[in-house]
Amino acid sequence: MFRGSVVSLFIAQDAAVPMESREEVKAVAGRGLEGDRYFAGRGHWSKTPGVTREVTLIEIETIEALEREKKIALPPGAARRNVVTRGVPLNHLVGREFQIGTVRLRGTRLCEPCAYPEGLTQHGVLAGLIHRGGLRAEIVTGGTIRLEDSIAE
């Protein structure tokens, strides 16, 4: 059992534009986060069939390790994930439901890195995020996700 929290929230209105920090975001089941590129179908991977891109998450511990191990200082928004967590073992949530505040999510698959975010940031990000690039999740029950919300199963 774990008990983590939300440390940062981000959306981007279009592909390749900088992520915008938010204090809260509205999560809509079957759509994603209001105002985000994937909610509107304008994300880089929106036309690619496959597992949902409603919400993406990454551990702040991964971002901190990237700086410690690879000497790459990646601002949390540059990871191109919507929710930055602390104290949550995201890799273990594939196929499982979990709660962020009042919002219920289901982990659908790992969010393995690709060359796209590295092209928007710097060389080495791709290798540094392999097997720890975060989690893709679908929204089971919508609501509002806020900074500092607790995260638990």
CB atoms within 10 A of CB 123: 9
Where the chain has pLDDT below 50, the residues are none
Instruction: Please state the φ and ψ torsions of residue 22, each to the nearest 5 degrees.
Output: -130, 155
Distance CA 82, CA 14 (A): 13
Q: In this predicted structure, what is the pLDDT of residue 128?
A: 63
Identify whether the C-beta of residue 125 lies closer than 8 Å to the C-beta of residue 133: no
Q: In this predicted structure, what is the pLDDT of residue 40?
A: 86
Q: Can you give the pTM of this predicted structure? A: 0.90
CATH of 4-152, one of 3.30.450.20, 2.40.33.20, 3.30.450.40, 3.40.718.10: 2.40.33.20
Distance CA 52, CA 91 (A): 16
Distance CA 133, CA 135 (A): 7
Q: In this predicted structure, what is the pLDDT of residue 51?
A: 64
Q: Nearest to residue 4, comparing CAs of 111, 107, 93, 89? A: 89
Identify whether the C-beta of residue 112 lies closer than 8 Å to the C-beta of residue 58: no
Q: In this predicted structure, what is the pLDDT of residue 43?
A: 76
Q: In this predicted structure, what is the pLDDT of residue 131?
A: 74
Distance CA 93, CA 108 (A): 8
